[in-house]
A and B are shown apart, each in its own frame.
Chain A
Amino acid sequence: MKIVDALVTSSAQQTTALGIERFRADFPILDIKVDDKPLVYLDNAASSQMPQAVIDCLVRYQKTQHANIHRAVHYLSNLATQEYEAARCKLQNFIGAREDREVIFTSGTTDSINLVMHGYGRKFIQDGDEIILSELEHHSNIVPWQMLAEEKGAHIRVAPINDAGEVLVEEYEKLFNSRTRFVALSHVSNALGSINPVKRMIAIAHQHGVPVLIDGAQAAPHLKINVQDLDCDFYAFSAHKMCGPTGVGILYGKAHLLESMQPFKGGGDMIASVSFEKTIYNEIPYKFEAGTPPIAAAIGFGVAIDYLEQIGLDAIAAYEHELLVYAASQIRTIPGVKIVGDCPNKVAVISFVIDGIHPHDVGTLLNQEGVAVRTGHHCAQPIMQRFNVAATSRASFSFYNTKEEIDILVAGIRSVQKVFAQ
C-alpha cells in the first residue's frame, strides 16, 4: 500500500509516474508496438486490458483445475466449484452486497439487463405501465426495455440531460406517476463519462415505490460501489471493462426481488427437480444460472477484483481524475477541438469532435501514431442526437495510462489537423 499512498498523496508528477510504472508493468499487452509506434491504449471504456495475475489464473485453471461445477463429486469438480463460488463471494464483498446469493454470474452487463427485463419486467410490467430511462443510456439499457414495452403495451419515458451531459434530476422526478413501474439508469455514461447522481435518483424512485436497475458497466472499474448504500434494486457490470476476461459479468439483485422473479433461461443447474409433469426451480442465484457458465472467466474475474482492491478503488479514482484533468486541459488548448459532455463530475472519459474532420478519419490517423481511441456513436445514438453530432472520438483512460500518453494523443490530434489542412 506504500506505493498507492505515494500515488495519491504526492503532487509531484515523478512520484505519480513511478507508482504507475509499477502497475503498467503488470500488463504485458501495453508493451506492444503498432507499426513501430508504442501502443497508447485509450479505449478502456470499450474493454480494458488484463494484468499478468489474471492471465496466470486463466492458464492455471485450464492446466490444473478445470471441470464442470455443481455436478460431480470428484476432485476437479469440487475444486472448480470452490473457486467459482469463491469468486462470487469476492464480487459480493466488492459491491457490499448483503449475501452471496444476491450475485448472479451472467455473460456481461447486456445479459444482466436482459435477465431483469425477462425475469422481472415480463412478470410485473403490464399494458399502460411506464418505464423511466435517462437520455444517457447505452443501447443495451434502451433496447431490452423497448422490446418489453412493445410486447406489453408499456411506455418508455426519458429523463433529459443538459448541455454538459448531466441528467436533469428535477425533470426526472416529474416523470413519475401512478403508472411508473420501473427505472433503468446508467451509473456512468459510456459516451461522455458523466457520473449520474444515482443515489438521489434511486431515493426518488423509491419514494414512488418503484424499483431501480443501475447499469454499472462504466462505473464499477472506476468508482467504489456499495449497493446497500446506493439502495439500488439491481446493479449490473462486466468483467472485461475492469481487468477481467470477456464473457462474464454479474447481476446484483436484492434477494426478495430475485426470488419473486421468473427464470430467464431454462436448463441444467437452475432446477431443484425435473419431471415431465413439473419442474421445481433451484434457489437463487442458481435459478438464473442455467447451463455451464464461463467458469474460468468467472474465476479470473475474482482475481481481477483482488487486483483492483489491492491498488484500491479510491486510489484508482484519484489518479484517473488527475489524468482526466490533465487531458481535458491539454485538449482544450487545441483550436477547433470541442469536448462533448464537459461536466465536472466525470470518470476519465473524453468525447471530442474536431471541426471539419470526421471521427472515423481521426481514429484512422491516430492509429497511425499508435493511439487507440473509439470513434463512432458508442452504442449511444440518442446522446449523439442530443448533441447534434453523428459521431465523436472518445479517449477513455485507465489507471495504467500516463500523462506522457496524453501528450502523444494531443500531438496526434494536432497532426490529424495538419493532414486535413493540406
Chain B
Amino acid sequence: MNLKSIYQEVILDHNRKPRNYGSLDCPTHHATGHNPLCGDRIDLDINMLDGHIEEIAFRGESCAICKASSSMMTSAVKGRSRQEAEALIREFREMLVSKEDNNDLDHLGRLKVLAGVRDLPTRVKCAILPWHTLHAAINSTGEATTEADDHSNKLVANNH
C-alpha cells in the first residue's frame, strides 16, 4: 500500500460519520485511552451482558485514523464475546506491527483497510489506541495508553 491509500474512502467515511459515537448511560465497563504523542484521548463505554458486548460507544477528539479505527472496531466487536474481542485485538495488533507482508487478512474483514498504517510508523499508535482502550475496558483496568505497547512503542519517534 502506498501513502495515499490510507486516506481512502472507507476511512474518510468513518471519520466523517463515526459509528457508535457517543456515550452509554450506565456502562458496565469503561476505559479512557491516551496518546501522549499528540494529546489525543478517547473514551469507550461498554455494556457487557452474559460475557458479550451488548452495547458499545466511543467519543473523543482524535485524528481520522484513530477515529476510523474506533468506529470500525466498535462495529466489529458489537455482539461478540469477551474472548472473541480479545482475539480480534490480538489479530489487529498483529496486522499493524507485523514485519511481514501478511496477505491473509481476510478474517479481519473491513478492518484490513487499516493495514496501510503499517507503512506509517508514527501513525501506528493512532490506529491502535482504540484497541488498547477496548482491552482496558473489558479487563476493567480503566486506562490505556499507547506508551504501554511494546511493539508500537519501538516504531515511533519520541515526543520531543
CB distance from B14 to the nearest CB of A (A): 13
Q: How far is the CB of B38 from chain A (nearest CB, A)?
A: 5
Question: Contact between B123 and A364 (Cβ–Cβ < 8 Å)?
Answer: yes
A404 to B128 CA separation, bound complex (whole angstroms): 37
The reply to whether the CB of A294 lies closer than 8 angstroms to some CB of chain B is no
B120: chain A residues at CB < 8 Å are 364
**Nearest 10 CB-CB pairs, A to B?**
A358-B63, A360-B63, A390-B39, A361-B64, A377-B39, A376-B38, A391-B38, A361-B63, A368-B3, A390-B61
Expressed in whole angstroms, the minimum distance between the Cβ of A137 and any Cβ of chain B is: 15
| A390 and B38 contact, CB distance less than 8 A | yes
Bound Cα distance from A188 to B142, whole angstroms: 39
Contact B3 A364, beta carbon cutoff 8 Å: yes
| Chain B 118-160 interface 0/1 with A at a Cβ cutoff of 8 Å (1 = within) | 0010010010000000000000000000000000000000011
Complex alpha-carbon distance, A384 and B41, angstroms: 14
Among A360, A377, A384, A391: residue with most chain B CB under 10 A? A360
List A residues at the B interface (Cβ < 8 Å): 35, 357-361, 364-365, 367-368, 375-377, 379, 381, 384, 390-391, 419-420, 422
Q: How far, in angstroms, from A357 to B16 measured CA to CA in the complex?
A: 10
Known A358-B64, A376-B159; contact A390-B40, beta-carbon cutoff 8 A: yes
- What 8 additional pairs, Cβ within 8 angstroms, besides A359-B38, A364-B6, A379-B159? A358-B38, A358-B40, A360-B63, A381-B39, A390-B39, A390-B41, A420-B12, A422-B9
Whole-angstrom distance between the Cβ of B67 and the nearest chain A Cβ: 8
The answer to whether A361 touches B39 (Cβ under 8 A) is no
- B65 on the A face (CB < 8 A): yes
**How far is A358 from B64 in the complex, measured between Cα atoms in Å?**
7
Tell me the minimal C-beta distance from B47 to chain A in angstroms: 28
* Nearest-neighbor residue (CB-CB) of A381 within chain B: B39
- B37 CB within 8 Å of chain A: yes
**Complex formed: what's the CA distance from A331 to B81 in Å?**
50
Please name the residue on chain A nearest to B12 by beta carbon: A422
Given contacts A364-B120, A420-B12, contact A377 B38 (CB under 8 A): yes
**Nearest-CB distance from B106 to chain A (Å)?**
26
Do B3 and A367 have beta carbons less than 8 Å apart?
Answer: yes
The answer to the question of B4 belonging to the interface, with a C-beta cut-off of 8 Å to chain A, is yes
Instruction: Point out which of A361, A376, A419 has the most chain B C-beta atoms below 10 A from its C-beta.
Output: A361
Query: Is residue B20 contacting chain A, with contact meaning CB distance below 8 A?
Result: no
12 chain-A/chain-B pairs, Cβ below 8 angstroms: A358-B62, A358-B63, A359-B38, A359-B63, A361-B7, A361-B65, A364-B6, A367-B3, A368-B4, A390-B41, A391-B38, A391-B39
Contact indicator A360/B39 (Cβ below 8 Å): no
On chain B, the residues within 8 Å of A381 by CB distance are: 39
Task: Report how far A364 CA is from B121 CA in the complex, Å.
Answer: 11
Chain B interfacial residues counted at CB < 8 A: 22
* Given the contacts A376-B38, A379-B159, A390-B38, A360 and B4 also touching, CB distance less than 8 Å: no
Cβ distance B58 to chain A, nearest Cβ, rounded Å: 15
Q: Which residues in chain B, 1-25, are within 8 Å of chain A measured between CB atoms?
A: 3-4, 6-7, 9, 12, 15
Bound form: Cα–Cα A376–B159 in Å: 9
Most-contacted residue by chain B among A357, A364, A420 (CB, 10 A): A364
By a CB distance below 8 angstroms, the chain B residues around A359 are 38, 63
B73-109 residues at the A interface, CB under 8 angstroms: none
Question: What is the bound-complex CA distance between A266 and B134, given in angstroms?
Answer: 47
List B contacts of A35 (CB < 8 A): 3
Taking CB atoms, residues of chain B closer than 8 Å to A375 are 38
Whole-angstrom distance between the Cβ of A237 and the nearest chain B Cβ: 16
Residues of A close to B3: CB separation below 8 A: 35, 364, 367-368
Which residue of A360, A367, A368, A390 is within 8 Å of B65 (Cβ)? A360
Q: How far is the CB of B64 from chain A (nearest CB, A)?
A: 5
Q: In whole angstroms, what is the CA distance A35 to B120 when docked?
A: 13
Query: Nearest B residue to A420 by beta-carbon distance?
Result: B12
* Chain B residues, CB < 8 A from A358: 38, 40, 61-64
**Bound Cα distance from A419 to B8, whole angstroms:** 9
Q: Are B7 and A365 in contact (CB under 8 A)?
A: yes
A387 to chain B, nearest CB (A): 12
Give Cα A3 to B160, complex, Å: 36
Could you tell me the distance in whole angstroms from the C-beta of A231 to the nearest C-beta in chain B? 30
Query: How near does chain A come to B60, taking the closest CB pair, in angstroms?
Result: 9
Report the nearest B residue to A140, measured CB to CB. B160
What CA separation (Å) do A379 and B157 show in the bound complex?
14
Minimum distance in angstroms from A240 CB to a CB of chain B: 11
Nearest chain A CB to B68's CB is how many angstroms away?
10
How far is the CB of A249 from the nearest CB of chain B, in Å?
14
Task: Name the B residues within 8 Å of A360 (CB-CB).
Answer: 38, 40, 63, 65, 123, 126
A419 touches B12 (CB 8 A): yes
Report the Cα distance A419→B6, complex, angstroms: 11
Q: With A and B bound together, what is the CA distance between A212 and B120 in angstroms?
A: 43
